[in-house]
């Protein structure tokens, strides 16, 4: 395996060298993506708290990164220090002010609920979150209005650096899987979850390379489509009807 890293040793909360050795040894298709990617540039976000990280995540949901960055900068300006409103400050900001900053009503209500649950202690401190399991954090954080499993998974991956997270509903991961394993259609979430067992305990790193696979594919990535409904089949001269399978729409942007 040829894996380059930055000139300074990466400061990550997991052994990325061991992860690459394991994934390369056990998955030749993934090994090819690792080699073609070159430098391993996994970086953690630097938000000072769980609250701030999720506040930013809410702003970025379902819109372009450029638009979200502009809106979030306006939200930050509402804080007394000009960086980010504290939970106490956010609880006092009126909905119209948040709407004026560019948020939808749903996102404004989500930010207010996040602030209140942080004050109540439901949303933990960063130090507290680091001591909790992935499952505990998901259970706690999805209780916040507007926060789903995908948003929590992005927090686990890009803020806490948890090594074994597989965001099965992420469009980029699904598309990267189809590209890496030469499939015409993206996998369904359950299929991806089952396949990902071979990547344990390094599913985060494998997911990161699924995003890289999309980048490497360039325009060819557009050829990959979502899985469609099952076709009707004939059995004993009778049509066996198969209802179309539901496909969950992933949220957020690929990294």
Catalytic amino acids? 170
Q: Report whether 155 contacts 50 (CB < 8 A).
A: yes
- The answer to whether the Cα torsion of 136, 141, 144, 149 is positive or negative is negative
Q: CA-CA distance, 254 to 217, in Å (whole number)?
A: 14
What single DSSP character describes residue 231? P
H/E run at residue 240: strand 238-240
Q: CA-CA distance, 204 to 156, in Å (whole number)?
A: 9
Q: Report whether 191 contacts 177 (CB < 8 A).
A: no
H/E run at residue 238: strand 238-240
Q: CA-CA distance, 39 to 42, in Å (whole number)?
A: 9
Q: Report whether 143 contacts 117 (CB < 8 A).
A: yes
């Amino acid at each position: 395996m040829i894996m380059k890293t930055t000139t300074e040793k990466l400061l990550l909360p997991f052994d990325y060298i061991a992860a690459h050795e394991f994934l390369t040894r056990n998955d030749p298709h993934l090994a090819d993506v690792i080699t073609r990617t070159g430098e391993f540039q996994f970086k953690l976000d630097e938000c000072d708290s769980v609250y701030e990280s999720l506040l930013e995540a809410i702003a970025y949901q379902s819109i372009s990164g450029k638009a979200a960055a502009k809106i979030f900068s306006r939200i930050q300006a509402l804080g007394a220090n000009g960086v980010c409103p504290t939970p106490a400050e956010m609880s006092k900001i009126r909905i119209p002010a948040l709407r004026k900053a560019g948020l939808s009503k749903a996102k404004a209500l989500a930010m207010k609920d996040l602030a209140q649950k942080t004050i109540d202690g439901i949303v933990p401190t960063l130090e507290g979150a680091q001591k909790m399991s992935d499952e505990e954090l998901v259970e706690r954080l999805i209780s916040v209005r507007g926060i789903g499993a995908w948003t929590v998974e992005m927090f686990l991956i890009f803020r806490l650096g948890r090594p074994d997270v597989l965001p099965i509903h992420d469009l980029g991961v699904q598309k990267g899987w189809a590209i890496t394993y030469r499939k015409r259609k993206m996998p369904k979430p359950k299929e991806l979850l089952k396949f990902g067992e071979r990547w344990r305990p390094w599913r985060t790193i494998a997911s990161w390379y699924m995003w890289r696979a999309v980048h490497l594919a360039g325009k060819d990535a557009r050829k990959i489509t979502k899985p469609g409904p099952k076709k009707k089949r004939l059995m004993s001269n009778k049509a066996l009807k198969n209802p179309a399978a539901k496909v969950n729409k992933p949220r957020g942007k690929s990294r």
